[in-house]
């Protein structure tokens, strides 16, 4: 279902969600190697790669089948691995399930080693659905040296059935350990959201409580007043406490349902002309801040 003007935020000119320094040139960015996983029905590789390239990183888009063929060392030269949006394997069984099973079987040990070596992982939409099924998030009980953690959460069908395409407002948790939030001001981040299975659930109430206590929900859907909400359409899936993202305790792994890579340019925003007329049009689309932060975090390791 396509978004209409009535579905979009009506807050042009609102406070910037990032400090301006987030978009400063990043020293050492040219040495950061970002791996963007593609194939099997995924379809956001171009804009995801473009966002990391805007930050100055070296970006390589690789079909997962080619990675598997390369063998156990396929991920060794990546600093940041990105699982992108799309419809892997047609969302059969459950979104991200088949893709996660394939990756775990062939690349699970390499992914665990990547995390233990200080590598970053970003999962967007279908990528979030995949990494949560891989156990990469929340991974509350995982310790260095373990394999991938067992799955302890999932993203299930939206409370309101069907695929919903809209812009949403996300409020950051400034106490989150996520490196992808550095420089967040506390103001809502507006980004597109498009999914049919985005409701975050947990297998164990104790894990859920631990996630919230450790501030591992970096972003929450908020209403027009800026309060976390479970109500549609501000929250398109009904996730409890407005959860829109999930990170691990290290802060180096982030899964997020809305699409930051779909707001790289000011003109991506549906009200960019109003922002231009008010003098509030940003130089870079605000969604790019998450990708810039990923690159900057690699340079600071």
Residue 269 a catalytic site member: no
Q: Residue 125: phi, psi to the nearest 5?
A: 55, -105
d(CA 239, CA 226) in angstroms, rounded, equals 16
Residue 259 a catalytic site member: yes
Strand, coil or helix: 202: strand
Annotated catalytic residue: which of 47, 208, 230, 261? 261
Annotated catalytic residue: which of 114, 195, 259, 269? 259
Cα 264 versus chain centre, distance:
14
Q: For residue 97, give both structure tokens.
A: 């399930």
d(CA 292, CA 294) in angstroms, rounded, equals 5
Element (H, E) at 80: strand 80-83
Annotated catalytic residue: which of 44, 114, 125, 216? 125
Q: For residue 16, give both structure tokens.
A: 């910037």
Q: For residue 38, give both structure tokens.
A: 């593609």
Report the residue count for the chain: 301
Residue 125 a catalytic site member: yes
Q: Which residues belong to the active site?
A: 125, 259, 261
């Amino acid at each position: 279902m396509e978004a209409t003007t009535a579905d979009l935020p009506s807050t042009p000119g609102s406070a910037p969600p990032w400090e301006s320094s987030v978009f400063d040139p990043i020293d050492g960015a040219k040495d950061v190697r970002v791996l963007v996983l593609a194939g099997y029905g995924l379809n956001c590789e171009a804009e995801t790669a473009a966002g990391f390239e805007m930050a100055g990183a070296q970006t390589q888009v690789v079909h997962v089948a080619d990675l598997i063929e390369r063998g156990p060392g396929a991920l060794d030269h990546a600093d940041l691995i990105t699982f992108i949006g799309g419809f892997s394997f047609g969302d059969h069984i459950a979104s991200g399930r088949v893709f996660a099973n394939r990756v775990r079987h062939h690349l699970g040990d390499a992914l665990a080693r990547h995390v233990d070596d200080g590598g970053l992982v970003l999962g967007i939409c279908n990528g979030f659905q995949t990494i949560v099924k891989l156990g990469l998030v929340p991974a509350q009980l995982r310790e260095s040296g373990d394999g991938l953690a067992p799955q302890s959460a999932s993203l299930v069908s939206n409370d309101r059935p069907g695929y919903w395409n809209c812009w949403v407002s996300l409020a950051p948790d400034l106490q989150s350990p996520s490196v992808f939030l550095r420089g967040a001001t506390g103001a809502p981040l507006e980004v597109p959201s498009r999914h049919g299975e985005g409701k975050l659930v947990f297998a164990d109430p104790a894990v859920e409580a631990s996630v919230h206590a450790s501030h591992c929900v970096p972003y929450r859907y908020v209403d027009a007043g800026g309060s976390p909400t479970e109500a549609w359409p501000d929250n398109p899936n009904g996730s409890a406490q407005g959860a829109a993202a999930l990170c691990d305790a290290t802060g180096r792994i982030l899964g997020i349902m809305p699409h930051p890579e779909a707001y790289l340019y000011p003109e991506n925003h549906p009200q960019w002309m109003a922002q231009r007329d008010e003098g509030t049009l940003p130089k870079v689309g605000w969604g790019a801040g998450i990708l810039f932060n990923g690159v900057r975090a690699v340079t600071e390791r």
